[in-house]
């Protein structure tokens, strides 16, 4: 099921993202602030997350990702990913 393409996902302001490199492999540890949970993500995923600033729609995030990552995810994929992050507490819930 595709989430709303009109939404403007925004990372929770208290989310912490820390870059880690172990044996030459880079990943990011993301701390969800409410329940103090930690998640690990690949760099490309974190790049997509950082584009979720509350100003862009999923389509606009996909366009910005294409410039940054060299490949464009569909707006539906971005919206679904934002919904997943919302359930994890990483993206703010809509008022």
From the list 36, 48, 43, the residue with the least C-alpha distance to 18 is 43
pTM: 0.87
Q: Tell me what pLDDT residue 86 has.
A: 94
Q: Tell me what pLDDT residue 18 has.
A: 97
φ, ψ (nearest 5 deg) of residue 2:
-90, 130
Q: Tell me what pLDDT residue 3 has.
A: 58
Question: What is the number of other CB atoms lying within 10 angstroms of the CB of residue 49?
Answer: 21
pLDDT tens string, the chain, 95 residues long: the values are 455 777 899 999 999 999 999 999 999 999 999 999 999 999 999 999 999 999 999 999 999 999 988 889 999 999 999 999 999 999 997 65
Helix axes 43-50, 58-69, angle to 10 degrees: 130
């Amino acid at each position: 099921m595709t989430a709303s393409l009109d939404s403007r996902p925004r990372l929770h302001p208290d989310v912490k993202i820390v870059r880690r490199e172990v044996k030459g492999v880079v990943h990011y540890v993301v701390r969800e602030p409410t329940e103090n949970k930690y998640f690990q993500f690949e760099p490309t995923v974190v790049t997509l997350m950082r584009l979720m600033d509350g100003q862009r729609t999923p389509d606009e995030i996909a366009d910005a990702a294409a410039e940054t990552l060299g490949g464009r995810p569909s707006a539906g994929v971005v919206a679904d990913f934002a919904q997943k992050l919302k359930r994890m507490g990483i993206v703010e819930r809509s008022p």
